[in-house]
Amino acid sequence: MKLARALAVIAFLIAPALASAKLTVQPIVNESIKSWGAWSSAELFPFWSKTLFEVTHTGKYDITFDLTPKKGYESSAIDLLHNSITSLYTGGFASYTNFDLGSSRYHRTFTLDLQPGIYSYYLAFTNQDLWKGTINVSAGLHTPAVPEPETYVLMGIGLSVILLRHRKPR
């Protein structure tokens, strides 16, 4: 009985700590943009300071691109989109082109093995009508899927029940 109580207490104490653990994401750019038919990140001013990000530790990183239209511009579809990540030391690293996207929204995440250094992103798209919206690009350490804290609590409760059921009567 004492073991079951101890397990339940531990499960309830660990759950809030696990819930408060968060991944730090480094925003690279968050800008309002306007496209009359074609747009690229080269139009950001000053281009180099707005498209660079630094990696300080070797590891897997998630680089996320988001294009979100302003209200009223959701019908302006993006036809062609190209984005890439480039190391300033070694050249091209990852590239993705999407033809006939057909939507006014875009979301793409690259998971890359990066070494310490300076990297640049590039994003370009074409559209038929006026497109206004926001571009967000961010980088963060890749974290594999981890069970929710509630899962640990339920596993602890289940283990407690199993231990209580198999306990020999005195």
CATH class of 24-142: mainly beta
Residue 36 has which token pair?
A: 């009359």
Q: How far apart are CA 68 and CA 76, in angstroms?
A: 11
Predicted pLDDT at 22: 41
Does this model's pTM top 0.75? My answer is no
Burial class (CB in 10 A: 0-12, 13-18, 19+), 141: middle
Burial class, 11, CB count within 10 angstroms (exposed 0-12 / middle 13-18 / buried 19+): buried
Q: What is the pLDDT of residue 32?
A: 92
Q: Which of 115, 91, 117, 96 minimizes the C-alpha distance to 106?
A: 96
Could you tell me which residues come within 8 angstroms of residue 100 by beta carbon, excluding any fewer than 6 positions away?
79, 80
SS3 60: strand
CB 7 within 8 A of CB 160: yes
Residue 167 CB-half CA count within 13 A? 13
d(CA 91, CA 5): 58
What's the pLDDT score for residue 99?
Answer: 65
Contacts by 40-45 with C-beta closer than 8 Å and gap 24+? Answer: 40/122, 40/123, 40/124, 40/125, 41/121, 41/122, 41/123, 41/124, 41/135, 42/122, 42/124
Domain ranges of the chain: 1-23+146-170, 24-142
**Mean pLDDT per 10-residue interval, the chain, length 170 residues:** 57 49 69 91 83 88 90 87 85 73 83 89 88 91 77 82 74
Whose structure tokens read 């890359």? 112
